[in-house]
Amino acid sequence: MSDNENIKDLSRRKFLRNSAVTGVAGAGLAGGFGAGTMMSSRPAEAAQNNEHHVEPGELDEYYGFWSGGHSGEVRILGVPSMRELLRIPVFNVDSATGWGITNESKRVLGENAPLNGDTHHPKVSYTDASYDGRYCFINDKLNTRVARIRLDIMRADKIITIPNVQSIHGLTLQRVPSTERVFAAGEMIVPLNNNGDYLDDPSQYWTMMSCLDAETMEIKWQAIVDGNLDNCDTDYTGRFVAASCYNSSRGMTLPEMMGPERDWTVFFDVPAIEAAVAAGDYTTIGDSQVPVVDAREQAHEGRNTFALYVPTPRSPHGVNTMPPEGKYCVVSGKLSPTCTVIEWSRVGEWFDGGLDDPRDTVVAEPEVGLGPLHTTYDNRGNAYTSLFLDSQVVKWNVEDAIRSYNGEEVNYIRDRIDVHYNIGHIKASLACSRDVDGKYLTALCKFSKDRFLPVGPMHAENDQLIDITGEQMKLVHDGPTYAEPHDALMIRADQLNPSQIYTRDDPYFAETVAMAEADGVTLETDNKVIRDGNKVRVYMTSVAPNFGTTEFRVKRGDEVTIVVTNMDTIEDVSHGFALVNHGINFEIHPQQTSSVTFVADKPGVHWYYCSWFCHALHMEMSGRMLVEA
Ligand code: RUQ
Ligand code: CUA
């Protein structure tokens, strides 16, 4: 089936499913759940329990992109089923796909790259603030990296280490006109030139916001800031990026960091910074060529033209722009029971000289509960904030919070629901885009305690699914997950169009194709062994149930490169190349070329076999490497 047919098929199935639901609408409301809520479009039996259940063979309505936390990967879940569909290895070694082992993945990772990571914030690229399904970007807090994943083949194609900072935590994307820039927030403060000088002088420690070109993945600029950067988000005009900024006291220890009642939300004027860089008004640090501008308050007399520091209580954490127009930005207070609502247009007024006090950009500061970490939205003017300490999600109305801030007697809290337990991130369907639809919300709980069968001291995390279509929130699913996904997002199934098989001209293995061409080898047809001094290149095809080469001979100490091209054309007929006792196994999906290089240092007979069950004769799909002593 072609990609297009597949998508049509998918939407047809969705259509059938939806019409089946509306066909019985009006059959009556189930009792007990919020009479007078928006339940009337639901069938009776569904309202009792099961409308969120995705039947076997049915497809989900959303793709969910989940960070894999300290597993270093990114996962794709179907929502609302919460079925795990794929793990995309990024900063880790993956035994199944050979990520971190194949030459193709090593080219993306870089030679000698650390093979672990800590992913936090997956972000899917935009065109005009709608998801365009091209890329997913992800940060590595552990090794200060940012990766880009191609969403056609679901493999990372660029990974870059950010210089001059330590720990990339917040990651966000330009929304308008499209994702041309990626913003990466450096968290820990270190000496600007971290070469061993100033070890004992924390007054010399700083961090920076980094801006990457989304296409080339090169760093366009870095901006030095006051405080530690945490989470970040952009506006809906393409001009600003904001980050929460804790440790304004520049402490080295916990008590020192917790001193101030207020830290900041810092807003960067991207065109102003880029104008300075274009004018040559920047420095560089150490060996790095990246232009660095100074956005600290101390560097500016009078008004800071690069950054606006809005005092925000207290160790603020999540920064989330409200869809669909992006009018407000909500910063969750973490150590303060409040959220701070900042109006983006007022941020513009401040930079343009119209406002004097940075706090004049604040239009509300509602009390929401204990430990507010992140905020997400529906399409009806409501915000949903995760409360870590209360183990709750609180739903509140943004315009009512603004009225209350302006002195009106109005209750802005709409609902609260218990979650299990100690929630961190929270994300509603399409809530970071113009297309926010107010249907589902994921509550990423840091503790699961008693919610699942015990499996030893390491507990699953619990990613819960909440129906937010009604006045009251309704918990509909518990989802155990591995190794702390920090963040997740959902996009509509029709917003992604992944490939079903590779195309032979895919850039992911273009360098391997070029190597074959230089050897005079046509990958699609040739099964050849080329010797070049002590380097041996073994080219073979794979067509179920055969490897094109079933025996090859090398000498002990040869550097061997094995290149396998899967000439099957039927989707899902994948092969694997596994070389026994050599720590080698990798994927070769239909029409893909994969390769690996190693030193043959063990004389003897070594079998290789296909590791992906592909055919009734899959077990027989094998061959021998003969290593002469
Ligand atoms: S952070 S629990 Cu890494 Cu996204 Cu807030
Ligand atoms: Cu090819 Cu199993």
Return the pLDDT at 335: 95
Say how many Å lie between the CA of residue 90 and the centre of ligand 1. 19
Residue ending a domain, among 412, 429, 446, is 429
Instruction: For residue 95, count CB atoms less than 10 angstroms from its CB and return exposed for 0-12, middle for 13-18, buried for 19 or more.
Output: middle
Among 66, 335, 373, the mutation site with the greatest number of ligand 1 atoms within 8 A of its Cβ is 373
pLDDT at position 11 over 70: no
Say how many Å lie between the CA of residue 487 and the centre of ligand 1. 7
Nearest-ligand number for the alpha carbon of 616: 2
Q: What is the pLDDT of residues 523-538, one digit of tens each?
A: 999 999 999 999 999 9
Q: What is the pLDDT of residues 192-250, one digit of tens each?
A: 999 998 899 999 999 999 999 999 999 999 999 999 999 999 999 999 999 999 999 88
Prediction pTM value: 0.91
Q: Do residues 52 and 147 both lie within one domain?
A: yes
Q: How many CB atoms lie within 10 A of CB 564?
A: 27
Share of the chain above pLDDT 90, in %: 89
Residue ending a domain, among 429, 447, 464, is 429
Q: Do residues 424 and 511 both lie within one domain?
A: no
Return the pLDDT at 50: 66
Return the pLDDT at 422: 97
Q: Do residues 419 and 511 both lie within one domain?
A: no
105 assigned to some structural domain: no
Kindly state the helix (H) or strand (E) to which residue 438 belongs, with its residue range: none
Q: Do residues 250 and 346 both lie within one domain?
A: yes
Confidence of residue 259 (pLDDT cuts 50, 70, 90): confident
| Domains identified in the chain, total number | 2
Return the pLDDT at 25: 30
496 assigned to some structural domain: no
The beta strands (E) that lie in 22-61 are given as: none
Say how many Å lie between the CA of residue 517 and the centre of ligand 2. 26
Return the pLDDT at 137: 98
Return the pLDDT at 249: 87
Q: Do residues 135 and 27 both lie within one domain?
A: yes
pLDDT at position 27 over 80: no
Return the pLDDT at 503: 98
Q: Do residues 528 and 408 both lie within one domain?
A: no
Q: Do residues 267 and 123 both lie within one domain?
A: yes
14 assigned to some structural domain: yes
Return the pLDDT at 139: 98
CATH number assigned to the domain comprising residue 610 = 2.60.40.420
Residue ending a domain, among 389, 407, 429, is 429
Distance CA 230, CA 312 (A): 13
**What separation, in Å, do the N-terminal and C-terminal C-alpha atoms of the chain show?**
49
Confidence of residue 39 (pLDDT cuts 50, 70, 90): very low
pLDDT at position 34 over 50: no
Confidence of residue 271 (pLDDT cuts 50, 70, 90): very high
pLDDT at position 482 over 50: yes
pLDDT at position 6 over 80: no
Q: What are the phi and psi torsion angles at 478 (to 5°)?
A: -105, 130
102 assigned to some structural domain: no
CB burial of 130-161 (b: ≥16 within 10 Å; e: otherwise) equals bbbbbbbbbbbbbbbbbbbbbbbbbbbbbbbe
Return the pLDDT at 111: 87
Q: Whose CA is closest to atom 1 on ligand 1?
A: 486
Mean pLDDT of all residues in the chain? Answer: 92
Taking the CA of residue 444 as reference, the ligand 1 atom at the shortest distance is 2
Confidence of residue 49 (pLDDT cuts 50, 70, 90): low
Among 138, 376, 486, 489, the mutation site with the greatest number of ligand 1 atoms within 8 A of its Cβ is 486
442 assigned to some structural domain: no
448 assigned to some structural domain: no
Return the pLDDT at 1: 36
Q: What is the pLDDT of residues 505-514, one digit of tens each?
A: 999 999 999 9
Least confident segment among 14-23, 282-291, 371-380, 490-499: 14-23
- DSSP structural state of residue 485: -
70 assigned to some structural domain: no
Distance CA 191, CA 272 (A): 25
Yes or no: say if 183 and 234 are a contact pair by the CB < 8 Å rule: yes
Instruction: Show the CA angle centred on residue 492, arms to residues 212 and 490, nearest 5°.
Output: 60
Least confident segment among 35-44, 139-148, 324-333, 591-600: 35-44
- Lining residues, ligand 1, CB within 6 Å: 120-121, 169, 231, 317, 373-374, 424-425, 486-487
338 assigned to some structural domain: yes
Residues whose CB falls within 8 Å of the CB of residue 150, separated by 6 or more in sequence, listed in order = 134, 135, 156, 157, 508
Tell me if 613 CB under 6 Å of ligand 2. Answer: yes
pLDDT at position 26 over 70: no
Confidence of residue 44 (pLDDT cuts 50, 70, 90): very low
Nearest-ligand number for the alpha carbon of 317: 1
Q: What is the pLDDT of residues 400-440, one digit of tens each?
A: 999 999 999 999 999 999 999 999 999 999 999 999 999 99
Q: What is the pLDDT of residues 330-368, one digit of tens each?
A: 999 999 999 999 999 999 999 999 999 999 999 999 999
Confidence of residue 45 (pLDDT cuts 50, 70, 90): very low
Say how many Å lie between the CA of residue 585 and the centre of ligand 2. 12
Share of the chain above pLDDT 70, in %: 92
Confidence of residue 32 (pLDDT cuts 50, 70, 90): very low
Nearest-ligand number for the alpha carbon of 461: 1
Taking the CA of residue 169 as reference, the ligand 1 atom at the shortest distance is 3
Q: What is the pLDDT of residues 561-575, one digit of tens each?
A: 999 999 999 999 999
Pairing of strands 262-269, 155-161: unpaired
Distance CA 158, CA 108 (A): 5
Taking the CA of residue 425 as reference, the ligand 1 atom at the shortest distance is 2
pLDDT at position 262 over 90: yes
Helix (H, G, I), strand (E, B) or coil at 18: helix
Q: What is the pLDDT of residues 109-141, one digit of tens each?
A: 998 999 999 999 999 999 999 999 999 999 999
Say how many Å lie between the CA of residue 615 and the centre of ligand 2. 6
Q: In terms of pLDDT, which residue wins out, 19 or 53?
A: 53
As a whole number, mean pLDDT of residues 8-33 equals 32
Q: Do residues 517 and 415 both lie within one domain?
A: no
Say how many Å lie between the CA of residue 371 and the centre of ligand 1. 13
Tell me if 486 CB under 6 Å of ligand 2. Answer: no
Taking the CA of residue 609 as reference, the ligand 2 atom at the shortest distance is 2
As a whole number, mean pLDDT of residues 379-384 equals 98
Distance CA 582, CA 5 (A): 41
Q: How many CB atoms lie within 10 A of CB 59?
A: 15
Nearest-ligand number for the alpha carbon of 608: 2
Nearest-ligand number for the alpha carbon of 623: 2
Helix (H, G, I), strand (E, B) or coil at 255: helix
- DSSP structural state of residue 325: T
Nearest-ligand number for the alpha carbon of 484: 1
Tell me if 612 CB under 6 Å of ligand 2. Answer: yes
Return the pLDDT at 29: 26
Taking the CA of residue 318 as reference, the ligand 1 atom at the shortest distance is 5
Q: Write out the residue range of the structural domain in which residue 306 sits.
A: 9-59+118-429
Q: Do residues 137 and 239 both lie within one domain?
A: yes
As a whole number, mean pLDDT of residues 315-330 equals 98
Tell me if 618 CB under 6 Å of ligand 2. Answer: yes
Taking the CA of residue 374 as reference, the ligand 1 atom at the shortest distance is 5
Taking the CA of residue 611 as reference, the ligand 2 atom at the shortest distance is 2
Distance CA 553, CA 585 (A): 20
CATH number assigned to the domain comprising residue 401 = 2.130.10.10
Return the pLDDT at 263: 95
